[in-house]
Amino acid sequence: MILIYPQGGAQAAGPLDRLIAGVLLVLLAPLLLVIYLSVRLTSRGPAIYTQCRVGRYGRVFSI
């Protein structure tokens, strides 16, 4: 989505973007929860994929 800001609106662009993102997050949270639960209940294993990797000096970590 591309927003066109009025002239001089560059100062408001950052806070306005954060406000829009926050509102969308609150509105989409229930839908994301339903999707998470449907994946969790219909599939074996975790709903969020994790993977073990080997890092610097052989240290194993999960992402």
Question: 4 forms bridges with which residues in the sheet?
Answer: none
Domains of the chain, by residue range, sit at 15-62
pLDDT number for residue 33: 95
Contacts 24+ apart (CB under 8 A), 47-50: none
Which position has the higher pLDDT, 29 or 10? 29
Q: Are 45 and 34 in contact (CB under 8 A)?
A: no
Q: What is the pLDDT of residues 11-61, one digit of tens each?
A: 767 888 999 999 999 999 999 999 999 988 998 887 788 899 999 999 999
Which position has the higher pLDDT, 28 or 7? 28
Its pTM surpasses 0.95: no
pLDDT number for residue 49: 85
